Amino acid sequence: MPSAWSIVTALAMSSVAVTAAALTPQQEAWLAKGTRHDRGGWIYLHIAGEPRERGFQHGYLTANEIADGLRVTRAMWLQDSSMEWSWLVAESNRFIAPAVDAEDREEIAGIVEGMRAAGADTTLGEMIAFNAYIELDWYWWPEKKKLMTDEPMATDHKRESCSSFIATGSMTTDGGIVLGHNTMGDYVAPFANLILDIVPTHGHRILMQSQPGLIDSSTDFFENDAGLVGSETTIGNFHSFSEKGIPEFVRMRRATQDAATIDQWCAIMRKGNNGGYANAWLIGDVNTREIARLELGLKYVGFERKKDGYFIGSNIAENLHILRLETDTADTDIRLSSVARRVRWKQLMKQYAGKIDLERAKSMEADCYDTCLNKENPSGRTLAGHAELDPQLLSDKIPYSPFGTFDSKVVDTRMAKRMEFAARWGSADGTAFDAAAFLTTHPQFDWMEGYLKDRPAEPWVVFRSGESP
């Protein structure tokens, strides 16, 4: 049974107050398999068992964070779309919910049950929409708005996010795989500070970054006990979506739990692809030291693999069919974040060929060299993104947008074989973000009052599957 400290801590971490109810004997037995502890700004959550029971552990032990995440997401959705959250949930249940497989549905239902037991109310429909929010907001909504208004939606500037690389062979110090990733996103968004250790009854054990309430990674940094490691970077300015398909969050979870090889993982991701959360996936097999890049558009797919070299991701499609026919990115405009960061990745890969290890990976993910201005300049164009510091005089982006890098993670072959990785919460370069000071300086974002939170500088920490508090 989790300690009284772990349960109290789990229910006291945000501005949303919840009150736990008495548990049934069955729920107590389920909860005994789950544990939670907090370290370095992260929540480490271990869940195990059948789908319903591991979902219950998840929902109960992070109920406060999930409730607060729902509160923030509802506000973001209303601000961005003007539409009611209940409308989005109803639409999601029309075409997303029927495509969720039975195991994932049971796990989400368990999250709902766990939250309710902890005193935080929600519904299965709402939690399915919450899990699908990125593909609903970024991909489905622009297409829906076109039909509702007969006007195309302006390019979503928030989609350029995440910087990642994977290297192997002659690129690394020991010939093994090194993977690095940081997430760039809205600072007002719910915290993706969950390290999720999943031990399912069937399939592979998973260790991944996630967000309280989600069954997939979403930020996408993960490994499983078959030796697969992976990350993704969103394909920027992508404009396609089909309601007839399997949601991305479902495919990602099934691939990571069920696949033992790169080919199996990619096959699951491709089957039923709906175009939602279109990503370039960087995948490695630490047993064979092979790496691959899978780019999933809607109509087109790019796939490459190698045992010597590297792949990079900076939110620009490398496959020409996807780039030219499914995005509107100007791939030589170095004023764009995606292009500037791709140039920087290539510079760093050339500079550090044969020298890449975990420490080098950390420094590269924290890099603040602006290739548009050719100088150190933390901005929306740097690998460690800082749009909140950027007047955006060189682009049409929103000046000083509270958007940027809010984490960093690295793993190599040695760590992956032990089911562990290193992670840093907060800016990859260690810059703290003060929400109150930011809103005072930039009152144009005053709607974020009560939603935007501090992101303090945190140290690097190592997490592993099965660790104790």
What is residue 152's predicted lDDT score, i.e. its pLDDT? 61
Q: At a CB cut-off of 8 Å and minimum separation 6, what does 238 contact?
A: 139, 159, 275, 278, 297, 317, 322, 326, 327
What is residue 161's predicted lDDT score, i.e. its pLDDT? 81
Would you say the pTM of this structure is higher than 0.85? yes
What is residue 6's predicted lDDT score, i.e. its pLDDT? 44
Q: At a CB cut-off of 8 Å and minimum separation 6, what does 276 contact?
A: 132, 134, 135, 136, 139, 140, 241, 245, 247, 248
Assigned token pair, 355: 């020298």
Assigned token pair, 362: 């950390």
What is residue 20's predicted lDDT score, i.e. its pLDDT? 75
The Cα–Cα gap between 429 and 451 comes to 24
Average confidence (pLDDT) per 10 residues, the chain, 469 residues? 41 53 95 98 98 98 98 97 97 98 98 98 98 96 90 54 96 99 96 98 98 97 98 94 97 98 98 97 98 98 98 97 95 96 98 98 98 98 97 91 97 98 98 98 98 97 95
What is residue 13's predicted lDDT score, i.e. its pLDDT? 41
Helix (H) or strand (E) holding 412: strand 407-412
Query: Do 113 and 122 meet the contact criterion of CB atoms below 8 Å apart?
Result: no
Query: Do 300 and 326 meet the contact criterion of CB atoms below 8 Å apart?
Result: yes
